Amino acid sequence: MSVLGRFVIDIEAKDSSSGHRAKARVHLWVYEPEQTIKLVVSRPPAEVHASYKAGILRELRDATRDLVALDDIRFHVDNDSLRRGEAGEVALHRDMTDVFVHVVDPDTNVILEPKEVLKKVDRSYDALSVYYEEVTRQHERDMQEHAASNSTATFFYETLRLESTA
């Protein structure tokens, strides 16, 4: 599988009255859904978006040494129920999140195959397990604080409305 298209767009804006200019370079990749990687996180989407998104992307970037682009965050869908052919029964888990990313080689600007990325992640298992333990401990502390203050944990179940990319 290869990238369908990669475009580099140079943009320049000029203020006609003052002559000030600003430039930006935009990298645009057109890719197939099969080139994305799905991460399943055992937290609701709103919590992942607010508290874990940056850390997850940073840890993946550090583990792979590549560019990691976030494609989507949405409720977890149990693909096993789809594979078993359970008609009309799609298991949607509102307490879990599917995070979709694609990973780009910074030297070639080519989207890496998911198998290649997973090999890199496997080689960084020790570092990633430390991050997972830190996140788990922080979550437990947060839950204790909210329980102590008699506040409800409804914020964990807020909906995050994002369009599906696939």
Q: How confident is the model at residue 166 (pLDDT cuts 50, 70, 90)?
A: very low
Residue found by looking up tokens 């369009």 in the block? 163
In degrees, to the nearest 5, what angle opens at C-alpha 164 toward C-alphas 128 and 82? 80
Q: What totals of helices (H) and strands (E) does the chain contain, helices first?
A: 5, 5
What gap in Å lies between CA 84 and CA 80, rounded to an integer?
Answer: 6
Q: Which two tokens stand for residue 57?
A: 């992307």
In sequence order, which residues have a C-beta less than 8 Å from that of residue 69 and are 6 or more positions away? 29, 101, 102, 103, 104
For 109-121, what is each residue's pLDDT tens digit? 889 999 898 888 8
Give the model confidence (pLDDT) of 20-36 as tens digits.
999 999 988 888 888 99
Any idea which of 40-44, 62-66, 143-147 has the lowest mean pLDDT? 143-147
For the chain, list the domains and their CATH numbers. Answer: 33-157 (3.30.70)
Work out the percent of the chain whose per-residue pLDDT is above 70: 67
Q: For 80-91, how does the pLDDT look when each residue is reduced to its tens digit (9 = 90+)?
A: 655 555 555 678
pLDDT for 68: 94
- Global pTM reads 0.67
pLDDT > 60? residue 154: no
